[in-house]
Structure 1
Amino acid sequence: MIRTLARSVAAFALSVPLAVAASAVPVGSDYGWQWPLSLSAGDAGAYRVELTPDIYAAAWSPTLADVIVVNGDGHPVPSTLVDATVEERPVLREVPWFPLPGGRAQRDIAAISEIDTDGRLRRVELRGAEDAATAWLLDASQLDGGLLALRLSWADSQPAFEQVFRVEASDDLKQWQPVQPEARVFDLRRDDARLLQGRIAFTAPTQARYLRLLPLRASMPALQLTAVQAEVRLPEAASSWQWRALAPRAVRVDGRDGFEYRLDGRYPVTRVDLATAGNASSRWTLSVRDRDDAPWRVVATDWVVYRLGADADSRSPPQLLPAPLRDRAWRLEPESPVAAPPDLLLGYRPEALVFVAEGTQPFAVYAGSARAKRAAAPVTQMLDALRTRHGADWRPAAATPGSGTALAGEAALTPSRDWTTWVLWTVLLAGVAVVAGFAVSLLRRGSAPTG
């Protein structure tokens, strides 16, 4: 009988989690707010939602883990958060190129070059057959942005080869710095198979007027170059930045004046600036924290801010932060007293939520939850595969958030207790107590004297 009772208790205890899971509330009750999505294409499969200030303001998680996409049945779909800089894909630009005589390729190129007033190369003079071209000079003077790589093309009649090049950069054709010490380029063939590598990646983004391409293997035949393209990362457009202006609240910090500010959302802040009243010049320390009971963390010291008149060129540039910050509380401490407290300007570039359109429409963004989060999904790997297939400029179709409405509202921002664990332990302890009591009863009955 004891065994039978124990088995019954165990079976009941195991059924508790299943019963709790079966009675779980819909996912919508775990989130505070929702935004319906309008899809730019009905059958794109993958979509990109740029996060709005309302979504940032609703998010509870410091990592935006509580921002998800759900389908028409209210079920979450695979999605991932994409940083603005990750989505920036380089553009290809044609680069004028000139053959260089092998005997002078690493000497004074300026002496054999003719340059326009805007820095554009007009021609490079080759003298004599003894100076046959084995290297190349590239004119990047008209490119705006950081150079990431070169893509070389050569004639179809080019014999099979494998060459190693060094790429150097210069602004005056006299002083040269390496941007890629060794880059392997090849065109290998066997029967009908062909293996090509014509891309030369730089060790770091480069901005220079001129590049030169120097072969490191003298025994290899000269490359029959036909075209050169540069992968360029364009400068960030000013319109892509959004700013939050925060009003100051005067505080005392170690006996001195300071100012605190409150951010209303989980924005990925990477730039900070001050809006001063009139001319100003001061030095500041900037600190942040996410909770009122947490210690302050210094993120910028000796930050000099100045403004002279209304000319934008006569003011200090924004302070760059080493990594995005989503903290709620910000504090400024001036090195010396200031005439008026400044507004704090926090700059960010909106992120995007990329999702796979699983299930039925309509889709919606849910945000704001202290007890639910976005599940991990291999969306990034899928995007990489699609860019490989469709080209580096491919992007998911756009999905635009509409007006937000409340789901559970503020109630979703309160962490829930894990009642499943408590119920399970209670049932197990109760079962143990019942079994123990029954065993004691049997022992007493077995030890009683018989008449």
Structure 2
Amino acid sequence: MNIASCRAWAPALVALASAAALAGPGSTPLQLSGTGPYYRVTLPAALYPLAKDMALSDLRLHSAQGAPLPWAWADATDAPAPAIRRHNAPLFPLTAAPRSGASTDATMQLNVRPDGSLAWRQAQASAPARSDWIIDTHAAKGNLLSLVLTLAPQDQGLYSFSLEASEDLRQWQLVLPQADVVQLTHQGQQLQQNEVDLGGLRARYLRLRWLGDGPAPSLRKADIQAYETLLPSPPPLQWQTLGPARCEAAACTWTLPAHLPLDAVRLSLSDPNTVATVTLLGETEQAPSAAAQPHRHRLFSRHREPTPTAAASSHSVLRQVLLSSTLYRLSLPGQPERLNPDLPVDGNSYQRLRLEARHSIQEWGSSPPQLSVGSRGREIIVLARNPDQAMLSWGQPQAQGSALPLTELMPLGTAQATGQGSLTLPSTTPPAPAAAPSAAAPPSATSNHTPWLWAALIGGLLLLGAMAASLLKKVQPQS
């Protein structure tokens, strides 16, 4: 070892000291607004790598003076997961449906029975060649998880549609601006994508409208997969785009943020007019614990059977099969480019994701697919007398400031939480050196109440200095 090698180690040691400073305990103020004293705060997915586990069990709420604040998980419940049921939803064709407005002539011909089901007021002729559809989902009492469409066998192509929801057939809300159903057969190979994720939607009726000017397919059947009881709607997915850590002849691997619950993945092929069958696996050093489920919002991921099972592993790495799917990126004549939909995952935390090709990664095109991971942030409810002084901390060992049962925090019900809140987390990567002086930035959220940060940084610098001094003593003066 020489002075040059010592210089080469210097950036790594500084980065290590900076990473150690960010990986331990920290805190950040909450920005609360609206009518209190209860405030609902959605936690960002970037909080998971800072916490000690996927359940965020080390989160604490306190005032700026260190006094604990009462709070609870907004999704906290001891009730078991609801049962899932599949329903064959009745279909009603709508002829010449307008592209704007709250109702149609065909809708007005429908009669709502006392039980909520639909029927024609008078007998209808057979469905026309092109029609939009009312899908009667009233029999599904709980949240809608997925919609499965069955087309006529002779319909071959990629068809786009929008989806609206209503409770009374008069007022409609757009819930899916565009979704695709694919049915293609070529040289004995079949590509079929007919399931659409509804993500826990609540609606008595759906209106499906085919998009584009081409001929629409003949819709033969619509199945709804839903819970048997109603759950609160989940917060939206938070997405992060990652680059592959390494690629082999038939697989690529991505490293995931620590403790991040994986609720969905988005895989986008690099080249147009490409179709590839893939298998996605989660890699961990230990088996994921089914008992340590991070939050109930994971239930709204589209239900899939069979349950993923452990795959063969090597080098003590456990691999869990998450899904097998067909990726596509197609540009058909007269139609805009179509991409495969986002894929729901089980909500567990994995250290890495491994994407395997059927034979070779060359099937994916000129480069690996772009991977984005989606996670539903958890929500907390805070009771704050002084909204300007509320703080959130992580990595704290003390029990004071931990979560209360939701019923204890809010004895009058969750409708009292009318205020909203947000927070800003420190960056998990060391900042690049500035080229020139700039305006003063606000102090870091972790600069308060963390004297050990300075100790970690000073320790790293002392270690670097000791190594440099030791090497300098061994250097012989040149003659």
Q: Tell me the TM-score normalized by structure 1.
A: 0.47
Greater C-alpha radius of gyration? 1
Structure having the larger proportion of residues in strand: 1
